[in-house]
Each structure stands twice: as structure tokens, then as C-alpha cells.
Amino acid sequence: MTGEQTAENGGKMVTGDDVRRIASELPRAYEALVRDRAKFRVGRIVFLSLSPDETVLGFGYPKEEREALVAGEPDKFMMPIASDMRYQWVRVRLSAIDYEELRELIVDSWRMCVPKKVWTEYLEKNPR
């Protein structure tokens, strides 16, 4: 799947393939197909979930901060669906972000699921 130029991010539109590429580089992370959705996990914990059409990415995000995130950029971020409101979760439109922002969201979501030692070692080897 190739990206296209968009006014929102000034460059190549990110895709589900970009999500896979970034997530596959993270220690302990793996992809699983669940009910026609690509989900990315650490152990049994889901930290990313692509919509079936791969235009929206759900990701782990602190519950106490998500309303401010969505209110600050409502064209980019969305609250989780009703059944996911109890989780630390938010959604983003892939067409509204660039690769660097996608990478930051994925790594931050992954950090919520792994021991501190794992993510500190990763970040030492892969500075932002």
C-alpha cells in the first residue's frame, strides 16, 4: 500500500504497513488477527488495534489525559467506542498524522505494557 500526499501532514500519508513496521521493531510486541482486525500485543495486552479498513488506529493512552487530547485536536483524535471507554484507549485517524507522530504514539502506547527495563533499553538504543 502506498501513501499519498495530504495537506494535513504535508507528506506521505501513513498506512497500516507503517504501523506494522514500527510495531514489529519493538521488543516483545507481536501482531495477531482478531475478528478481522490487526491487533498488536505484548503478552496478552493489546496496545494497538487497526480498524478493518486500516484508516483508524486505536492505541493505549492514559484515561485521565484522553479528553484533553481529543478536545485539543478533534480532527485527529477520537474517543474510544463505548465498549472500550473503560480501557486506557483512544483512536487516531491515520490520514491526519505523519510518520514521526505515528511512531511516537506507538512507542508511547507500547511503553505502557512492558517493564521499565525493557523500554529504557529500547530507548537507549533508539533515541527519538
Q: For the segment 37-96, what is each residue's pLDDT rounded down to a tens digit? A: 999 999 999 999 999 999 999 999 999 999 999 999 999 999 999 999 999 999 999 999
- Whether residue 110 is contained in a domain is answered as yes
| Confidence category of residue 12, pLDDT binned at 50, 70, 90 | confident
Conformation bin of residue 43: beta by default, left when phi > 0, alpha when psi is -120 to 50? left
- Total domains in the chain come to 1
- Whether residue 57 is contained in a domain is answered as yes
**When comparing pLDDT for 3 and 79, which is higher?**
79
- The answer to whether the Cα torsion of 59, 62, 67, 73 is positive or negative is negative
Q: For the segment 109-124, what is each residue's pLDDT rounded down to a tens digit? A: 999 999 999 999 998 9
CATH of the domain at 59: 3.90.1150.30
- Whether residue 3 is contained in a domain is answered as no
What pTM was computed for the model?
0.86
Q: Which three cell numbers stand for residue 38?
A: 490487526
Distance CA 34, CA 124 (A): 32
Q: Which of 99, 127, 91, 111 is nearest to 22 (CA)?
A: 99
- Whether residue 72 is contained in a domain is answered as yes
